């Protein structure tokens, strides 16, 4: 593992146009993938890709952000920024996974939820909140993998896992570095500076207890050798699935609650009121 890249360089790698996306990981890690579409309420949002597949012969539900591979797809999927319908599709698939006792594996790669007029009109905030609530209480194993950009609540909605893994050059943050700089310093061009203070790299997040394990990438980034990334990721997924599958549904939900309950508990102190 290399430690010589700056956070800004990792952001660039995480956003690289050839960075493998959810569809690539599904092709490489699973077999017999059946895509499930639609939220059963009003439409299908392709920026969330989900369905059932086999992982070494075991049925799992897979849900991930989809940026698309061509310009046409990029536009159709808003560059991987989901609308409420995407999150409601994710909720539907999660509940179905629970019904059939299938583990859920999520892949996170989004700049954030889509900030559009229709998305707001149809309840972007409610959709994300409900996804967080539902995924927190699932009685099946949930494993999340941050593969590229983990931007804001739009990323976290798929990130409430019993285990959270992260590719070496992926990033995960409260907001994009540009948005962060714009809000805090009213200057989005200071994004490199934001990268330095945001603690958004895999190593930073492991130290903060936000993620559980780092998946190493090849020297020049995940896009140069997807198979090498999957050779590293596959055994970790196998190990974690095996371990989690031994727990009861209640224990899985309780463990997930406990994991997120302690997030930020080192960030508190007491002061006289």
Partner 1 sequence: MSNVFAQRRQKLLSMKALRGSSPAPAHTEETCPACGGTFRRRDLVMARYVCPLCGHHYPIGAYYRLSLVLDKGTFRELDASLTSNDPLSFPGYATKLDSARRRTGMNEGVVTATGRIGGQKVAIGALDSRFFMGSMSAALGDKVTRLVEYAEKYKLPLILFSASGGARMQEGILSLMQMAKTSAALEHFSQKGGLYISVLTHPTTGGVTASFASLGDIMLAEPGALIGFAGPRVIEQTIGEKLPEGFQRAEYLLEHGFLDAIVPRTQLRDTLLQLLKLHGKGGSDRAK
Residues of this chain that interact with partner 1 (CB under 8 A) are 113-117, 119-126, 128-130, 132-134, 136-137, 152-153, 156, 159-160, 172-175, 179-180, 183-184, 197-200, 205, 208, 210, 256-257, 260-261, 263-273
Q: Which is nearer to partner 1, 101 or 235 (CB)?
A: 101
Inter-CA distances, 13 with 3, 34, 57, 121, 230, Å: 14, 30, 32, 34, 17
Nearest to 233 by CA among 255, 218, 249: 218
Least distance CB 240 / partner 1 (angstroms):
19
Closest to partner 1 by CB, 36 or 188: 188
Query: Which residue number, 103 or 112, has a Cβ lying nearer to partner 1?
Result: 112
Give CA separation, 263 vs 71, 139, 170, in Å: 38, 21, 20
Per the document, the length of the chain is 273
Exposure string over 176-200, b if 16+ CB within 10 A, otherwise e: bbbbbbbeeeeeeebbebbbeebbb
Identify the three-state secondary structure at position 35.
strand
Residue 47 Cβ, how far from partner 1 at the closest point, in Å?
Answer: 14
Q: Nearer Cβ to partner 1, position 57 or 273? A: 273
In the complex with partner 1, the residue whose CB is nearer, 61 or 144, is 144
In angstroms, give the least distance from the CB of 5 to partner 1: 19
CB-wise, 198 or 226, nearer to partner 1? 198
Cα separation, 147 vs 37, whole angstroms = 22
Q: How many CA atoms does the CB half-sphere of 263 hold within 13 Å?
A: 12
Shortest Å, Cβ 229 to partner 1? 23
Report, in Å, the least distance between residue 156 CB and partner 1. 6
Considering the complex, what minimum distance in angstroms separates the CB of residue 93 from partner 1?
18
| Contact residues for 40 (Cβ-Cβ < 8 A; gap 6+) | 92
């Amino acid at each position: 593992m290399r430690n010589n890249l700056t956070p800004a360089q990792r952001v660039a790698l995480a956003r690289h146009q050839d960075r493998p996306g959810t569809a690539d990981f599904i092709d490489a890690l699973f077999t017999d993938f059946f895509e499930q579409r639609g939220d059963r309420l009003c439409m299908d949002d392709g920026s969330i890709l989900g369905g059932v597949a086999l992982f070494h012969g075991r049925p799992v539900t897979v849900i991930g952000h989809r940026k698309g591979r061509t310009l046409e797809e990029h536009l159709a999927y808003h560059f991987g920024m989901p609308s409420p319908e995407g999150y409601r599709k994710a909720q539907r698939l999660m509940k179905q996974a629970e019904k059939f006792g299938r583990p859920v594996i999520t892949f996170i790669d989004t700049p954030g939820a889509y900030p559009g007029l229709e998305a707001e009109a149809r309840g972007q905030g409610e959709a994300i909140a409900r996804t967080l609530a539902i995924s927190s209480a699932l009685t099946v194993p949930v494993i999340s993998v941050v593969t590229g950009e983990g931007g804001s609540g739009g990323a976290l909605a798929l990130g409430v896992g019993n285990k959270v893994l992260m590719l070496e050059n992926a990033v995960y943050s409260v907001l994009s570095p540009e948005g962060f700089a714009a809000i805090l310093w009213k200057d989005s061009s200071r994004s490199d500076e934001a990268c330095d203070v945001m603690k958004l790299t895999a190593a930073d997040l492991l130290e903060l207890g936000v993620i559980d394990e780092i998946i190493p990438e090849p020297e020049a980034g995940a896009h140069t050798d997807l198979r090498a990334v999957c050779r590293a990721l596959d055994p970790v997924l196998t190990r974690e699935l095996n371990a989690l599958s031994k727990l009861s549904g209640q224990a899985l939900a309780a463990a997930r609650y406990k994991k997120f309950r302690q997030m930020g508990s080192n960030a508190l102190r007491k002061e006289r009121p």
